[in-house]
Chains A and B, each alone.
Chain A
Amino acid sequence: MPDTDEIIDVLGGLSLFADLSRPELEGVAHTFEEEWFPAGQRILRQGFTGSGFYVIIDGEAAVSANGTQIAHLSRGDFFGEISLLLGESPVADVSSTGSLHCLVLAGPALQEFLLAHPSVMFRMLQALARRLRASNQWRS
């Protein structure tokens, strides 16, 4: 199993956290909880309150809405942020498709975390902009 050093190394390699210094990464590694899910486990549940923000550090997951798969996630991807930013329940399920290793931040802690780490907020904004562009291209 990875120790804290390895988790920090993994975090430093993810674009979301690419601008953080090593002590900041250590703070992130200790602020997030580590969770491990077996294959086929539902992690984000459509329509349920109280969800969190997840960053995949190893493994893969599927996003599905009303039973239909709409996206595939892997290492470095994150999920759960849209419902937390909007203060609504998730509009999709996210389930592990193999064993999945994540870092998790409790929903109520996301705003404070992003305000304390503006570079992470900017990187998240970029990722969301890319998703928006892809979805607009798909529609047109």
Chain B
Amino acid sequence: MAELNGKACPPGDYPVVVIGSGPGGLQTAYSLARAGVQAAVLSADDSPGGMFRRFPLFQRLITWTKIHAPAERGTRPYEWYDWNSLIGEDPALRALVPEYMDGTSYFPARHEMEQGLREFSDRSKISVRYGCRWESTRAKGDTFVVGTSDGEFSCRALVIAVGMTEPWKPANIPGIELAPHYVETKPVAEYAGKRVLVVGKRNSGFEVADALLPWARQIVLASPRPARISVLVRSTAAARARYLQPYEDHVLGGGNIVLDASIERIDRTPEGRFRTLLKGTTRPGDLALETDEIIAATGFGTPLGDIGQLGVKTFYQGRLPAQTPFWESASVPGVYFAGSITQGSIGLKKYGIPSNSAAVHGFRYNAVVLARHIAETRFGAARPRPAIPPAEVVPLLLAEATRAPELWNQQSYLAHILTFDDGRVLDEGILPLAHFVDANGPDGVAMAVETDAEGDIHPAVYIRRGPRVEEHTLASSPLLEFDTAEHVAQLTALLKGLIA
């Protein structure tokens, strides 16, 4: 694959082109290769790692890796506790991030994460063309032509894995351009003794406020929506516990402030300070705030280039492409997404709890499933569907509910599915739950793990008989043990008549 100048993946025709060399792109390319499909991976960066080469700003990730875990490192059950490593089949490719962690924190440092990703890329020998910038995209018959700084690539399936990495600010705030974005935050010492307004109350807003606590004179966090806290709304998409010190400071009257207010306009004063007008949302009232500094922690969008002109539809103010349950563009077949962009495929989102597709521990499994799906539906490489003896169905499903990392890390989103075909039971493996419950298919059962409105985590069983799919909830368990005699009896009764 190497050219004379040493670059992998020269321009040309490939079955699949993957754009991006972060964890989503690497996992997809690796899993495609395992399914026998060749992909050219194109990256504008000069080494693997994607956003972890730059973010989070303050060095440590918000996804943990448990070095001393209940499961043996390198096994499939261990993945449940290691939210950061990519998924390899060869033992040399498994659980790589903990290999590089120094053990002083539950959360890897950025360089530890980057090292784990680089090792995965090197050891798996994924061919990536670095320093190759994606510039244009067009459809030509049933292929896509990807124009890059190094020439043209054509493919039958295009996978876009560029991350939600483009600094984004709302367009409707006059003066917002005066506010540096989160990515432009200065070294913390430069905020010493200053009053700072942070616009935004999601993770990047709380992260930056947390880092400024020892420095800033006063921090005001403001955005229209009340802060959503992960432990209260049970979602990794909400503000994470480790960044909550500024919030506790506010609640206990420490002097830093968290406001629910819309930002009406931002101006510079003659002295070079910032004057911001705010309107309360949960508590009506106008406020004027003068601060020395302002930081727009207003989030990120996806750098989707020109694919809008192919007809790829977006939502969330253009920041995410609309997707099918298999992460294919809802409007342009053949264009797929991997990595954090897959949060745009929403799934069942029960009780408002989103999937973990925005983070590595969720989207790495989406990528594995996506690669097999592309290999099967576009290149005729059928997924294995081994037959299961009927007596093993109940133990298999309960073991999955108790230990499967895909089910625990992608609750109500990925499920282990068995289908029933003329007296035989076939193991379909891990698939999107939304696909099982909404698409027609043979009779079957899907096992998922879910959290209910009370915060109880329990197995959920979906059974398709003919055109209807019914949902059943198995008992929760304070020690998360879902393979007890009670569970066996419950599941056996539910499957009565379906297995011989």
Contact = CB atoms under 8 A, between A and B. Distances in A.
B330 interface: yes
Given A47-B470, A108-B352, 20 more contacts: A2-B317, A3-B317, A23-B281, A24-B281, A24-B284, A27-B225, A30-B224, A34-B316, A35-B315, A36-B313, A36-B315, A36-B322, A38-B331, A42-B437, A47-B471, A49-B471, A50-B450, A89-B471, A104-B352, A116-B282
Interface stretch (B143-151, B342-350, B393-401): B342-350
A49 B450 CA distance: 10
Contacts, number: 106
B255 interface: no
B172 A23 contact: no
A88 interface: no
Interface residues of A, number: 38
B349 A1 contact: no
B302 interface: no
B346 A35 contact: yes
Interface residue tally of chain B, by bracket?
Answer: 35 or more
B352 A101 contact: no
B262 A108 contact: no
Contacts of B453: 50, 107-108
Contact of B224 (A5, A26, A47): A26
A30 B225 contact: yes
Contacts of B316: 1, 34
B467 interface: yes
A99 interface: yes
B352 A109 contact: yes
Contacts of B314: 1, 36
A39 B330 CA distance: 9
B317 A38 contact: no
B391 interface: no
A99 B315 CA distance: 12
Interface string A16-48: 000001011011011100111110011001011
A23 B284 contact: yes
Contacts of A52: 349, 352
